């Protein structure tokens, strides 16, 4: 993107009342977008996929480019990339997380598949309880990425995910 295009995107986001812009996290994007977020008083929600497993991936570096840089932490992708819990990352960066994407995925040893909630290795329930118990003001969003069964629909599967969240929080 050209500088004018990036600036326009931030102006448009601000005009519609958005808190910020979300984009793929990398050293280049975190540094390049930081001045625009600062200029417009918005946040950068930097979204991870499997690149968290890359040898030189560094949350601290990406966040250091601006106090407006925040993590849009995808806990399912985190588990699929590293095979470990995202809970320590949430605890460490809770004040620098704009929002979470919730999905259930399997670890690398089990194929990294996106699966129906409760069938994978992502600690969705533990994550939600952590947010509640620590009073972390982090929105957690259902991201439906697993294949929809033929005898179901997107809305039915979304309802199952919402029920999973309620049950995890004992609501």
**pLDDT for the residue numbered 91:** 99
Q: Which run of H or of E encompasses 114?
A: strand 114-115
C-alpha–C-alpha distance, residues 109 and 81, integer Å? 10
CATH topology of domain 3-168: TIM Barrel (3.20.20)
Average pLDDT, the chain: 98
Its pTM stands at 0.96
C-alpha–C-alpha distance, residues 129 and 111, integer Å? 27
> Tens digit of pLDDT for each residue in 94-142?
999 999 999 999 999 999 999 999 999 999 999 999 999 999 999 999 9
Domain ranges of the chain: 3-168
């Amino acid at each position: 993107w050209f500088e004018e295009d990036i600036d326009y995107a931030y102006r448009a986001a601000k005009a519609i009342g958005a808190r910020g812009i979300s984009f793929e996290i990398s050293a280049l994007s975190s540094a390049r977008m930081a001045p625009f977020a600062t200029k417009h008083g918005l946040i950068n929600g930097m979204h991870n996929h499997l690149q968290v497993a890359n040898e030189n991936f560094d949350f601290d570096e990406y966040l250091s480019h601006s106090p407006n840089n925040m993590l849009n932490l995808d806990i399912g992708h985190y588990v699929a990339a590293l095979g470990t819990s995202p809970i320590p990352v949430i605890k460490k960066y809770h004040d620098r997380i704009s929002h979470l994407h919730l999905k259930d995925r399997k670890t690398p040893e089990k194929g990294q598949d996106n699966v129906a909630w409760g069938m994978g290795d992502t600690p969705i329930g533990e994550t939600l309880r952590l947010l509640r118990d620590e009073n972390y003001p982090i929105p957690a969003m259902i991201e439906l990425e697993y294949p929809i069964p033929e005898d179901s629909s997107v809305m039915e599967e979304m309802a199952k995910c919402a029920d999973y969240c309620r049950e995890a929080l004992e609501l």
